[in-house]
């Protein structure tokens, strides 16, 4: 990934979508990279804090990117984007204190 992420924008949270694009939380927003590491664009955030963590969610296509920083959570709608599935989803049964596969 030559030149995609500089030392002044160190990566924090990283997520991938169903097409293999990387979403990387940085000091100046979220960098969107191709599979080859080419910078496709940046998602600017309203605050000044760096993006610390990321998560795809909402709806069956997981097309909302949630960006967490030191003080807030920003929801970014990405129509046409699908967050990648991560392993098998599990349901936690608090009463039995064990995981159940769905």
Q: What is the pLDDT of residues 54-101, one digit of tens each?
A: 989 887 778 899 998 888 898 999 988 888 876 655 555 555 554 444
70-75 contacts: CB < 8 A, separation 24 or more? Answer: 71/47, 72/47, 74/45, 74/46, 74/47
* Residue 65: closest CA among 87, 99, 41: 41
In eight-state DSSP terms, residue 47 is S
pTM of the model: 0.71
Q: What is the pLDDT of residues 6-18, one digit of tens each?
A: 444 566 788 999 8
Q: For the chain, what are the domain ranges?
A: 7-101
* Residue 81: closest CA among 47, 37, 40, 45: 40
């Amino acid at each position: 990934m030559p030149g995609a992420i500089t030392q002044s924008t160190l990566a924090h949270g990283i997520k991938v979508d169903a097409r293999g694009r990387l979403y990387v939380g940085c000091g100046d927003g979220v960098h969107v990279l191709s599979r080859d590491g080419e910078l496709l664009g940046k998602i600017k955030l309203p605050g000044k804090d760096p993006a610390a963590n990321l998560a795809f969610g909402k709806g069956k296509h997981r097309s909302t990117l949630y960006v967490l920083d030191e003080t807030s959570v920003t929801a970014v709608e990405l129509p046409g984007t699908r967050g990648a599935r991560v392993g098998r989803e599990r349901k936690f049964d608090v009463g039995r204190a064990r995981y159940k596969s769905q």
